[in-house]
Structure 1
Amino acid sequence: MLFHPDQLSLGIVLPAQARTHADIQFPTQLATAVHADKLGFDALWVRDVPLNSESYPDPIGHADPWVLLGALAAATSQIHLATGAIVLPLRHPLHIAKAALSVAALSKGRFVLGLGSGDRPSEYEIFGRDVENRKTLFQSRWERLAAALRPDQAVTDEQDNVREEFSIRPALQQAAIPMVAVGSSAQSLEWIARHAAGWMTYYRPLPVQTDRLALWHNAQLKITTEFRGFGQSMVLELLDRPDAIYEEINLGARSGRRALIDMLSAMREAGIHHVAFNLISDKRSPAEVMGEIAADVMPALR
């Protein structure tokens, strides 16, 4: 599992390429994935962008997440593969279960299923869904999906009746596929703490994120004594000047590695268990940045 008490794991968000109006570069992403695996990163995060539009902040034409995950599972051996996030209200839960079980089997238990609600009303409209119903739709589909991913793999219908004449294969080959809530998905933190193995959210300056962590811990205390992870995505422009200061930018930071180490250490102390880097740079390749993080940042944290 990605989340461990008192530890901070690090991941990479794909696609890792220049943020231009271009389709995903499959050879580049597979090479990045293999490199991240060898360097010891903990996770590769794949996004679910059903439809591109000018309103979407990332101009890259994303691949279907399940197709990309299959290629990543075949190309890597140790690193976790995670979705950040499958848009649950726009995909049927039994289709998601089939795909999740397939990726889990192909990756030999390295798959983490991150689920979100999406937030574009026009996208809901084109799929025939009412964005105003996303809270209840997310909950009902989560429950059907969770049932299908249990060891007994219960296939239920719209009325929550178990349909024993159906099963989903391949069979579950691990104790469980971790289901992680990505974003709030219009849910309360208590609901997330009750149903999800962890919560991934977007980057906030640490004092602000610390307040969110306090709310998250309070929600957990009301629901369970079991550990629940907390992670965040983070846009990162890692400068080639090790002593450069840590500077906040939109959804992340621009920094040299020494200040980055200090901030990541503070995040760990605050109770953040995973950070997924969305690498951006006009001057440095993802391979170069990942190499510096693996050589200098990871040892300082661990």
Structure 2
Amino acid sequence: MKEAKLNAAGELKDEAHTPINRVFSNGALSIGLTLPMLRAGAVVADFDEQLALARLADERGFRALWIRDVPLNSADYPDPVGHLDPWVLVGALAISTRRIALASGAIVLTLRHPLHIAKAAVSAGSLSHGRFILGLGSGDRPPEYAAFGQNSDERRELYRRHWETVAAALGEPSRVIPDRSPEGAPSFRLLPENSHAVPMLAVGSGGQSVDWIARHSLGWMTYHREPDAQRARYSMWRAAAERVAPEAFRAFGVAMRLDLSRDPHEPAQAVSLGYRTGRHALIDVLTQMRADGTHHVTFNLSSERPVAEVVGELADEVLPQFHQEK
């Protein structure tokens, strides 16, 4: 995978990365949204409505839409929402939006064949004109591994091996690493050609060390933690990046649950994986996160308010504090 070098403004040098600069840029914090966007307690998504909300987010200046990969549901799994297949949804978003980045948060790298992932990523990058970010995770449910014929105890090695195959296929030049190469087997190519670089991003740890992630990934996307724990995590990440990739930009992002109060002055109150808060305290939280080194936050909206109303308030009152148009 091509190294991500910085220019004098602290942005990625390669022009092909320009849409990605709007998500991850040194010294700045950008804001995205996680799909599906549902009111609190809702478990059934109307995906026509989701596409309309995605277009609204694009028009109002959010920097990224994040799509989850949830292959199977069960009564034991805490998320009862029926998610679309991520590649189908990314394709729909690619032709429904114009400027916003599309990010997988995250494709389960260990439960899909890496050459299929690479083919899908190149296709998404082509359809979106370079707006796709390939976020990769390992999954953490042993019964789901069993359903796909995999051993969850091997997920760390599977993650590394599959990452290598995807990275080779997305690299410049592209290189296909076959599982087996019988005598007389042809050399394979990945088409369409990768005219838009597809950045690879670690979402969660995948069982890897922070040094491994900093060496191989554009950045690290994690769940929200309370501020002191998050600062410690960022410090660990920066130390790893400086050890193994001192000349490269390595981003840090956070997925945060947000219950945005109608009262703009309501203080921030911690909830599971995020906050219930009014917009003024939210701006204070995000300002501190930017100072602590976070480059991107994606909101998983969870409010009794209509979603479009929350998106509108964020766009009008919060985004202008952090987004300077590029």
TM-score relative to the length of structure 1: 0.96
Single out whichever of 252-261 and 12-21 deviates more from structure 2: 12-21
SS of equivalent residue, structure 1 residue 122: helix
What is the distance in 2 between the residues matched to 1:199 and 1:76? 25
For residues 71 and 300 of structure 1, the distance between their equivalents in structure 2, rounded to whole angstroms, comes to 30
Structure 1 residue aligned with 2:194: 172
Using the TM superposition, give the Cα deviation of residue 165 of structure 1 relative to its aligned residue in structure 2, in angstroms.
2.4
Backbone CA RMSD of aligned residues: 1.5
Contact kept in structure 1, 2:39 and 2:301, CA below 8 Å: no
Alignment of 1:266-285 (within 5 A): 266-282=288-304, 284-285=305-306
Structure 2, unaligned runs of 5 or more = 1-19
Determine whether 1:123 maps to 2:139. no
Instruction: State which of 215, 219, 224 in structure 2 corresponds to 1:198.
Output: 219
Question: Match for 2:62 among 19, 35, 41?
Answer: 41
Deviation by residue 1:86-130 (Cα, 9 ceiling, x = unmatched): 000000000001111111000000000000000000000110111
Q: Secondary structure at the match of 1:171?
A: coil
Q: Is the 8 A contact 1:20 1:60 kept in 2?
A: no
Match of 1:11 among 27, 32, 52: 32
**Structure 1: segments with no counterpart, 5+ residues:** none
Secondary structure of the residue aligned to 2:253 is strand
AA aligned to 1:74 is I
- Structure 2 CA distance for aligned equivalents of residues 190 and 48 of structure 1: 25
Give the aligned length.
299
Q: 1:296 aligns with which of 317, 320, 323?
A: 317
Q: Which amino acid aligns with 1:199?
A: W
The partner residue of 1:187 within 176, 196, 208 is: 208
Query: Secondary structure of the residue that 1:218 maps to in structure 2?
Result: helix
Note the C-alpha offset of 1:28: 1.1
Q: Is the 8 A contact 2:30 2:322 kept in 1?
A: no
Q: Is the 8 A contact 2:60 2:315 kept in 1?
A: yes
Q: Distance in 2 between matches of 1:78 and 1:164?
A: 39
Shift of 1:153: 1.6
**Correspondence for 1:98:** 119
CA deviations over 1:199-246 (Å, ceiling 9, x no partner): 000000111100001110111111011110000100000001010000
Q: Contact between 1:14 and 1:46, CA under 8 Å: does it hold in 2? A: yes
Q: Which moved more, 1:182-191 or 1:217-226?
A: 217-226
Correspondence 1:51 to 2:72? yes
Distance in 2 separating the partners of 1:278 and 1:160: 44
Structure 1 counterpart of 2:264: 242
- Quote the Cα distance in structure 1 between the aligned partners of 2:93 and 2:75: 28
SS at match of 1:236: strand
Cα separation, 2, equivalents of 1:278 and 1:3: 18
Residue 151 (structure 1) shift = 2.4
- Distance in 1, matches of 2:263 and 2:181, equals 57
Q: Deviations over 1:46-93 (max 9, x none)?
A: 000000112222111110000011100010000000000000000000
Classify 1:160/1:203 alpha carbon distance in 2 versus 1 (closer, same or farther; 3 Å). Answer: farther
CA distance in structure 2 between the aligned counterparts of 1:278 and 1:210, rounded to whole angstroms: 21
For residue 276 of structure 2, the aligned residue among 254, 258, 265 is 254
Q: Distance in 2 between matches of 1:215 and 1:192?
A: 12
Say if 2:97 is the partner of 1:76.
yes
Q: Does the aligned pair in 2 maintain the 1:21–1:61 contact within 8 Å?
A: no
2: distance between equivalents of 1:247 and 1:35?
28
AA partner of residue 199 (structure 2): P
Distance of 2:44 and 2:113 partners within structure 1: 26
Q: Check conservation: 1:230, 1:271, Cα contact below 8 A.
A: yes
In 1: Cα distance, 2:209 partner to 2:26 partner? 23
Q: Deviations over 1:133-186 (max 9, x none)?
A: 10010000000000001122211112699x762112111112x21100000111
SS of the aligned residue for 1:11 comes to strand
Q: SS of the residue aligned with 1:235?
A: strand
The amino acid across from 2:78 in the alignment is: P
